[in-house]
Every structure is written in structure tokens, then in C-alpha cells.
Amino acid sequence: MIVLKTGRELNIMKEACRISAGALQTAGKAVEPGVTTAELDRLAEEYIRSQGGEPNFKNYEGYPATACISINNEVIHGIPSAKRKLRAGDIVSIDLGAKFDGYHGDNAATFACGDISEEAKRLMDATRESLYEGIKAARAGGRVGDIGHAVQSYVEARGYTVVRQFVGHGVGTHLHEAPEVPNFGTPGRGVRLMPGMTIAIEPMVNAGAAGVEVQPDGWTVLTKDGSLSAHFEHTVAITADGPKIMTLI
């Protein structure tokens, strides 16, 4: 069931999203060679709690950390570890969110660790830009397929592929709500977008083929062909005046 939020609910969500965005920025600023992924996770959790929020990924379906931190050919859901240090040239995807007063925020971005390759820069740029193409298509009266088509066409025109096994989603009093928001689709198809809907749009884009596989830890998702992957996400409110990005600070 899709839940339309009232103005009061959107105001609460704005705070959850502000905290989520601040935590992502805090962790992202700390990305540098030699830092462990556990340290990034610690910084994110400390920020969320300092703002009166709760890490909404932690213990979600058994997930053990505040943030998912995925490196290079890891697409999503990488588990932070004190044993894993970042290296120059890595691209580091951080996905996290915060719960505040019963409502959730969710966002992600991919960060450069030191100097990265031109290939990695192009992939990150295309993924980030495809997110904003998807957001532009998230207009009241449109369809979920409009969003997916905007992302997919932008990505594929640049020689990349979108991951199909994992998709965006509604967000509100639950971290994951209806509807699903794929990063591929047909314009004019799918669920109709209505004012009061709040959705997480999150392109996951591979430099190679679209295929992915889940590792034995049950969480970490890799590209099947070992190619690089990038991930960007915003929580977005559908309004009569157009899409509003809630996870901006």
C-alpha cells in the first residue's frame, strides 16, 4: 500500500532526511587512504545520534552496521570492517539513513579515495547525473516508469548498465515502502505518482555488464564481471509543484 504523507508528516521526514544527509556528508568527508570502513561507519552513527536520530540500517533484517560501505566492484550492502582500509584510487559507495520521530530518511553517494582513474570519474559522474535525470521525471501525474526510463536512457547512452536486481523504493514510517522504483522502465507505465508520495531514487550503475551476485555473507553484492560500480540516492517528495529533494543540506 502506498502511503501519502501529510504536510505535518513531510516536515518530520525533512528532519530525518536532514540527519541522513549530514551523516552521509560526514562519512564522505572522511574517505581517504588508510581509513577503515569501520571508522566511516562509526562517524556516521555518532553524527546521527548527536542529532537525535537513530541509524535505521542498524539491525534492519539483521544488518550489523549503520552504513553500507561498498568499494570498487561492490555494488551495495558492503559490511564495514575494522580490517578493511581504503586505498588510493578506490571508489567508495556509502549508503545510510536515519530515523527521527518515527520517520525515515535514506541516501547514498559514491566518493573518490584520493586520485582515481578517469574511468572511475566518468562512471561516478554518469551515475550522479542519472539520479538527477530520474528526479526531474518524478512529477505528480507521471508514472514510476518515467523515472526508470530517464535513469536507464541516460546511463545506457554513456555505455554503462543499470542494476536490475535491486531498485529504489518508497520511504516513510518504514525504511522500505511501496512502490518499487526501478532504474529502468517504460515511460507512461507503472504506478502513478501523486503529491504526498515519498520515494528513494537510487541508480546503481555498472561500468560493465548489469549482472550482480550476492556474496556468502548474505549482504555484499558484487558485479559479476568485476567491473566498477557506483551508487547515488536521494529521498524525494512528490509535490504539486514538482519533485523536492529531501536529503539535501
Residue 128's Cβ-count burial label (10 Å; 0-12, 13-18, 19+) is middle
Closest CA to 94 of 48, 40, 138: 40
Question: Mind listing the pLDDT tens digit for each residue in 45-58?
Answer: 999 999 999 999 99
CATH homologous superfamily for 7-245?
Answer: Creatinase/methionine aminopeptidase superfamily (3.90.230.10)
pLDDT value of residue 249: 81
- Whole-model pTM? 0.98
Q: pLDDT digit of tens for each residue in the chain (249 aa)?
A: 999 999 999 999 999 999 999 999 999 999 999 999 999 999 999 999 999 999 999 999 999 999 999 999 999 999 999 999 999 999 999 999 999 999 999 999 999 999 999 999 999 999 999 999 999 999 999 999 999 999 999 999 999 999 999 999 999 999 999 999 999 999 999 999 999 999 999 999 999 999 999 999 999 999 999 999 999 999 999 999 999 999 998
Question: Mind listing the pLDDT tens digit for each residue in 195-237?
Answer: 999 999 999 999 999 999 999 999 999 999 999 999 999 999 9
What are 94's three cell numbers?
556509502
